[in-house]
């Protein structure tokens, strides 16, 4: 019972940190807290299932300063990208002999931006699919399983709201990597 109570406390704290309902403005935040909260919320989806192994998450966190961002919106981006990665790893019929893995890497750049790289070793995407993934209503999921809005909204949040970049690199049969890059300070980005 004590373990269950601790788990519930962690989930509630993660949900509160993730949603940041009281923080609609730009705030200084630790981006790793947002990633960890997202992973805590998605913990059940990462666990082993009767028909699928657990998804291993490898965190390569760099030494990041607190960054100025819209935390609730950035957490939404993390949720969309990590959830899509989990879905891709769960539908990996072509690679049953390779354990599913997601790697999250954070680093600063010489341009005073923060880069978040979220990579999976799933089945990847064709070039044609890659060209459309940020288009509204485009989805590769079966009917009823996805709206095709998650990545379109994520692109808008990163590029328009945070003056950053969101890119995708994928090789069919090898996996996919999303790269989020945003300025450390939104005030610096607005002067560009």
Segment 40-69, tens digit of pLDDT: 989 999 998 888 889 999 999 999 999 999
C-alpha R_g of the chain = 17
- Mean pLDDT value across residues 25-37: 90
pLDDT classification of 131: cutoffs 50, 70, 90: confident
pLDDT at 192: 45
* Domains detected in the chain: 2-191 (3.30.565.10)
Q: Which of 2-16, 48-62, 67-81 has the lowest mean pLDDT?
A: 2-16
Q: Is the pLDDT of residue 96 over 70?
A: no
pLDDT at residue 21 in the model: 46
Instruction: Categorise residue 137: left if φ over 0, alpha if ψ from -120 to 50, beta otherwise.
Output: left
Dist CA 155 CA 171 (whole Å): 20
Contact, 78 vs 34, CB < 8 A?
Answer: yes
* Nearest alpha carbon to residue 37 among 60, 12, 14: 14
């Amino acid at each position: 019972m004590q373990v269950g109570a601790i788990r519930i406390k962690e989930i509630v704290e993660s949900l509160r940190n993730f949603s940041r309902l009281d923080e609609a403005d730009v705030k200084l935040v630790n981006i790793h807290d947002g990633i960890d909260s997202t992973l805590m919320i998605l913990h059940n989806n990462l666990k082993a299932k009767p028909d699928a192994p657990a998804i291993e998450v490898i965190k390569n966190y760099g030494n990041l300063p607190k960054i100025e961002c819209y935390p609730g919106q950035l957490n939404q981006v993390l949720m969309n990208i990590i959830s899509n990665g989990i879905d891709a790893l769960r539908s990996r019929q072509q690679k049953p002999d390779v354990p599913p893995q997601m790697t999250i890497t954070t680093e600063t750049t010489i341009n005073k931006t923060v880069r978040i790289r979220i990579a999976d070793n799933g089945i990847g995407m064709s070039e044609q699919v890659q060209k459309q993934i940020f288009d509204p209503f485009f989805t590769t999921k079966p009917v009823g399983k996805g709206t095709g809005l998650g990545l379109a909204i994520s692109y808008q949040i990163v590029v328009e709201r945070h003056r950053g970049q969101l890119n995708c690199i994928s090789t069919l049969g090898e996996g996919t990597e999303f790269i989020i890059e945003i300025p450390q300070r939104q005030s610096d980005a607005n002067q560009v």
